[in-house]
């Protein structure tokens, strides 16, 4: 048991934090060695199992990330961009694999990970599920096969608590479509139509975000031409798919050289 990689989960009380804690505790390949919440949160100082409404797990929620990371081989982090940038510095200091599921990071945020990845493995993906990562491969192939007679639109739906749009997954799918087309997503992305927008520009990749209720995550990649449409779809019905992927990434990263990786590397897709 002591030989198993020790994992720290950040954002312990969050939707993903709690799912990740359950996934690590239930796993026979890893052990939970720490859980982190933001300073001032009422879970800090409590046993995390009890805070989650179950039996004690013998792990106390802390607001001191470096102390927790120093005891770990990997940190799984689904929190918020500003927290993730701080955690990346601390995980690098502790030489722990940093698995980042946080979305909504800007290009400037992402650039701040570069110095950290010189010292530690970072695996980052806007979606850690096998299904979505396979969908990115299919999206790239379909976009490569079709010309601009096919308009590409990415439609995503998530629960009403989600704070970022388009979703990280939608952006991954957009990147894949742009790669298939041989263009840069930044040059063709159309993110947010309102009012007299003018006709659709040929070659654009459009994004639409729906927010409502408890939708876990739904993504369509639509290829629409005159007389026919192709729709590639992924429906997530349970957050465990993201947590399982994140744990897989944490274990995969154990023997890798410092650097930045994604789930395509982990899954060998």
Ligand X SMILES: O=C(O)C1=N[C@H](C(=O)O)CCC1
Binding-site sequence positions for NADP(+): 38
Asked if 217 touches ligand X (CB under 6 A), the answer is yes
Q: Note the maximum CA span of the chain.
A: 62
User: Contact 233/220 with Cβ under 8 angstroms?
Assistant: yes
User: Choosing from 22, 162, 219, 234, which is the catalytic residue?
Assistant: 162
Which residue spans within 19-73 are E strands per DSSP? 31-36, 61-62
Binder among 85, 169, 208, 232 for ligand X (CB under 6 A): 169
**234 touches ligand X by CB under 6 A:** no
Task: Say if CB 23 and CB 247 are below 8 A apart.
Answer: yes
Number of H helices, E strands in the chain: 10, 12
Run of H or E residues at 189? strand 189-191
**Count of CB atoms situated within 10 Å of the CB of 231:** 11
Residue from the set 22, 124, 162, 181 that interacts with ligand X by CB under 6 A? 162
Give the residue, chosen from 89, 124, 140, 158, that forms a contact with ligand X under the rule CB under 6 A. 158
Site membership for ligand X, residue 167 (CB under 6 A): yes
Q: For ligand X, which is the closer residue by CB, 120 or 232?
A: 232
Establish if 84 lies at the interface with ligand X (CB under 6 A). Answer: no
Is 98 an annotated catalytic residue?
no
Using CB under 6 A as the criterion, which residues of the chain lie in contact with ligand NAD when the complex forms? Answer: 10-11, 13-17, 36-38, 41, 78-80, 83, 101-104, 125-128, 168, 242
Q: How far apart are CA 74 and CA 266, in angstroms?
A: 15
Residues that bind ligand X (CB under 6 A): 103, 126-127, 158, 162, 167-169, 217
């Amino acid at each position: 048991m002591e030989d198993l990689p020790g994992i720290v989960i950040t954002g312990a009380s969050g939707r993903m934090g709690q799912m990740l804690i359950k996934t690590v505790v239930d796993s026979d390949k890893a052990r939970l060695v720490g859980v982190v919440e933001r300073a001032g949160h009422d879970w800090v100082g409590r046993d995390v199992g009890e805070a989650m409404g179950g039996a004690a797990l013998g792990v106390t929620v802390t607001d001191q990330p470096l102390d927790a990371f120093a005891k770990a081989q990997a940190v799984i982090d689904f929190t918020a961009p500003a927290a993730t940038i701080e955690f990346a510095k601390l995980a690098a200091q502790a030489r722990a694999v940093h698995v980042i599921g946080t979305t909504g990071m800007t290009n400037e945020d992402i650039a701040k990970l570069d110095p950290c990845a010189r010292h530690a493995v970072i695996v980052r993906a806007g979606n850690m599920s096998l299904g979505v990562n396979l969908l990115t491969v299919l999206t790239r192939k379909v976009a490569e096969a079709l010309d601009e007679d096919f308009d590409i639109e990415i439609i995503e739906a998530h629960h009403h608590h989600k704070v970022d749009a388009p979703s990280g997954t939608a952006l991954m799918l957009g990147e894949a479509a742009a790669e298939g087309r041989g263009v840069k997503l930044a040059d063709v992305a159309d993110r947010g139509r309102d009012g007299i927008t003018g006709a659709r520009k040929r070659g654009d990749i459009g994004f639409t975000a729906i927010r409502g209720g408890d939708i876990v995550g739904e993504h369509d990649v639509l290829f629409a031409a005159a007389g026919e449409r192709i729709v590639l779809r992924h429906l997530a019905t349970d957050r465990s798919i993201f947590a399982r992927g994140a744990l897989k990434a944490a274990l995969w990263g154990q023997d890798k050289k410092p650097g930045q990786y994604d789930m395509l590397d982990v899954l060998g897709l």
